[in-house]
Structure 1
Amino acid sequence: MLLTSFQEDLIFGDKIKTKVILETSFSKEIRILLKAGQVMKQHQTKFPIVVHLLKGEIDFGVENTVHRIKEGDVLTLDANVPHDLSAIEDSVVRLTLSKSDDVARVEKVIEDSDQ
């Protein structure tokens, strides 16, 4: 058993921050901290994902439609669907990746978004 928290050390910065909170035999649980106004540019993944907004409010763009996601909302997204995120408030996002997906891919999206 491993016990950890998505709520510890919530320090929002000038850049979007990610942290692998938990890795299981079937998934990777990633925390993404977005300060109000920060944006993750459009991207996609080869695997389905689950996005759970633990704190804050974001606009989640999918296929030319923007969905306002509020604290507590959870969504699924199929593989190869372009999407983007814009933080309305300081936000804590839980991203569930397939075990086959690569955390470095997420970090690259964030790096590209910060430029």
Structure 2
Amino acid sequence: MILPSYLETVRNELLTRIQGGDILINNSVAVPVQAMTIVSNPIAGILNGIALEVTAPHVAGVPAITNVKLRTKTGMVIAEKTGMIEMNGAQFLSITFAIEVKGGL
């Protein structure tokens, strides 16, 4: 069993790593992380998960998103999502990265 105190440590460490990081869109457009927060609501199908909400500035000229990577300030990828999202003039897009903490044994 993973103790709540350990999950809190993981959350804090994750937030520290993302500070100064960016979001890489389609492996070509990097936008800086403006704000981040841990979302406390449960994640369907994930036990001991951490939902992370990240805010970035508006990006123009990206007609479709095929992949998004959340990176640290040193470029290390923390989480990645793939798919096909056609923007069609969308003004706002919300992407949540769900990160599961797994214990040993």
TM over 0.5: no
In terms of fraction of residues, the more helix-rich structure is 2
In terms of fraction of residues, the more strand-rich structure is 1
Q: TM-score range by the shorter chain?
A: 0.3 to 0.5
TM-score (norm 1): 0.30
Is the radius of gyration larger for structure 1 or structure 2? 2
